[in-house]
Amino acid sequence: MNEIGFDWSVIDWADIWLATQDTLTMLGVSLGFTIILGLPLGVLLYLLSPRQLMANKPAYSLLSFVVNALRSLPFVILLIILIPVTVKLVGTSIGVAGAIPPLVVGAAPFFARLVEATLREVDRGIVEASQAMGATLWQIVTRALLPEALPGLLAATTVTAVTLVSYTAMSGVIGGGGLGDLAIRFGYQRFQTEVMVVTVLALLALVQLLQMTGDWLVKRATRK
Amino acid sequence: MIALHHLNKTYEGDGRQVIALRDINLQIETGEVFGIIGRSGAGKSTLLRTLNLLERPDQGQVLIDGQDATCLDTAGLRVLRRQVGMVFQHFNLLNHRSVANNIRFPLELAGALSKTAINTRVDELLELVGLHAQREQYPSQLSGGQKQRVGIARALANHPKLLLCDEATSALDPQTTQSILQLLLDINRRLGLTIVLITHEMAVVRAICDRVAVIEGGQIVERGPVADVFLHPQHEATRNMVAEDGHAATLDLAGKLGNVSGTLLRLTFVDATTYEPVIAQIGQALAAPMSILQGSVGRIKDRPYGQLIVGFNGDAELAKRAFEERGVRCDVVTV
């Protein structure tokens, strides 16, 4: 160890690489499922809300309550209380696989709310014009609403991805692995500040990369 | 032909009821340009939307070629809507689609045509509205007038028999308004398409409508051929709108005519009589000269008209008869 304080030789780069892979896997898979579940949920919230195409106050209130309830649970708690469900779904409650169901359950309601808000931004006139042209509900959603909202949906996906990165850091609680877990176990609990520095830098780079990619996609998709 | 029978519509919001339509009865003939004029909140927008059931009336029938549209199920309604084009004040184009793809949209929705047939149709429509050069541009790159041309092309894509125009020119400048109105008139004549438009501007009605209905407080208060309604408005709402338009000899001269002696006559000429020297001839014949106090001449669609208010010293009854023999309507005006 030199006098400035950092001894980079304590870092096991293979571990770092493994952790990075775990983080990327958790992020990729859970983001995929979050979109698959959250997008329809968001569309449904939008359609059921007052003055929209399927306006239904009781159904909207119920769905809205469920979404709020899931969002109000801290992620760490969600990780633990979902263990029985996780075991049913993926056969294990630990490791990368065990982390994915709680990640999705944590992020999908969040993403759904963002989708709902984004769809609300679409000019009502476009929905009306589509109706006047004889579009079915499915056509309105898939050919008018979602494509019109694409820039906003991409921005929502970016925000969700970044949120998922910070959620993955907590998956260490159930042995989920990943960069955040590494930072806590080695960097914090074993006082290996070097590991902390490297993992934080890696997370920083990942978030920057996600945000830049997201911004670039939004810009490309924007026609306004 | 469209017939509306006893349409009623009430909105409920915040615990109070707003009556949007009150026993509307209306007949619109095939091939005509029918205007519905009214102030904002008069119910004209609701009325227009009952024609393609975007607004469902609480009571009443919407007969389109004898078929009651209010009885259609969802699928039937979609078929109907594909035969009824609609043009909007704020265009309502899809921002993520190019001009050509916006026009293609209703054809894709209908799903009845092959890809090549759709392309051919899109080219025809681009030609019709004069937007060939802009086909690959996006709505954000277009001017208001160009956007409305896309809106019109899109509305015509499925060969509708009826075109609904919701304040189609209200967001446009006067010059662009004229070009869009001319386009609509051209389409009406070339395709024999029935057009129903709503507006708050008498100028729009005067430019292209054959008949007009005036709506006020959810009720139709006056209706008839545009020349009749425009030149001889009966209801106060109509009179106000005609006066605001500034193109008719409406008498707001009370108090300003203190030193005019004799009777005031309102003379209305339409069509051929507009061009004849009627005033001079009758003035001479009755040996009583007339002084023109106010007036306007112009065109209602393509009918020339003139409306004058003249001061006349002589036998008003005699003059009235003389004018009416020559096909000029003559009313004695009381200030």
Specify the pLDDT at position B127: 95
Chain B residues 131-170 with a CB less than 8 Å from chain A = 138-140, 154, 158, 164
Is the CB of A128 less than 8 angstroms away from the CB of B79?
no
Q: Which of B54, B88, B96 sits opposite A150 (nearest CB)?
A: B96
Specify the pLDDT at position A4: 63
% of chain A residues with pLDDT over 70: 98
**pTM over the 0.80 mark:** yes
Specify the pLDDT at position B253: 57
How many Cα atoms sit within 13 Å of B4 on the Cβ side?
26
Mean pLDDT of chain A: 91
Is the CB of B81 less than 8 angstroms away from the CB of A144?
no
pLDDT digits (tens, 9 = 90+) for A25-41: 999 999 999 999 999 99
Q: Round to whole Å and give the CA distance between B156 and B128.
A: 10
Is the CB of B81 less than 8 angstroms away from the CB of A128?
no
DSSP secondary structure letters along B70-111: GG--HHHHHHHHHTEEEE-TT----TTS-HHHHHHHHHHHHT
Specify the pLDDT at position B86: 97
A58: confidence class by pLDDT, cuts 50, 70, 90: very high
* Fold of the CATH domain B263-333: Alpha-Beta Plaits (3.30.70)
Specify the pLDDT at position B61: 95
Is the CB of A132 less than 8 angstroms away from the CB of B138?
no
Q: Where are the beta strands (DSSP E) in chain B?
A: 2-13, 16-28, 33-37, 59-64, 67-68, 84-87, 162-166, 194-199, 211-216, 219-225, 263-270, 290-300, 303-312, 329-333
Q: Which residues of chain B have pLDDT under 50?
A: none
Which residues of chain A does B105 touch, with a Cβ-Cβ cutoff of 8 Å? Answer: 133, 143
**CATH no. for A13-221:** 1.10.3720.10
**CATH no. for B2-245:** 3.40.50.300
Specify the pLDDT at position A130: 97
- The label of the residue with tokens 């294990």 reads A92
Which residues of chain B does A135 touch, with a Cβ-Cβ cutoff of 8 Å? Answer: 78, 109
Specify the pLDDT at position A1: 47
In this structure, of A133-147, A153-167, B37-51, B267-281, the range with the lowest mean pLDDT score is B267-281
CB contact at 8 A, B295 and B249: yes
Output the CA angle B130-B134-B138, nearest 5 degrees. Answer: 130
Residues 6+ apart with CB under 8 A from B238: B214, B221, B222, B229
In this structure, of A10-19, A80-89, B180-189, the range with the lowest mean pLDDT score is A10-19
**Is a pLDDT exceeding 50 seen at residue A200?**
yes
Q: Which of A123, A139, A150 sits opposite B92 (nearest CB)?
A: A123
Interface test with B, best of A119, A123, A133 (most B CBs within 10 A): A133
Is the CB of A132 less than 8 angstroms away from the CB of B84?
yes
Q: Round to whole Å and give the CA distance between A38 and B32.
A: 50
Question: Number of A:B CB contacts under 8 A?
Answer: 65
Specify the pLDDT at position B249: 61
Residues 6+ apart with CB under 8 A from B118: B104, B107, B108
Is the CB of A134 less than 8 angstroms away from the CB of B138?
no
Residues 6+ apart with CB under 8 A from B18: B10, B11, B12
Is the CB of A133 less than 8 angstroms away from the CB of B109?
yes
Specify the pLDDT at position A161: 97
Which residues lie across from B109 on neighbouring strands?
none
Residue A109 CB: number of other CB atoms within 10 A? 25
Q: In chain B, what are the domain boundaries?
A: 2-245, 263-333
Q: In chain A, what are the domain boundaries?
A: 13-221
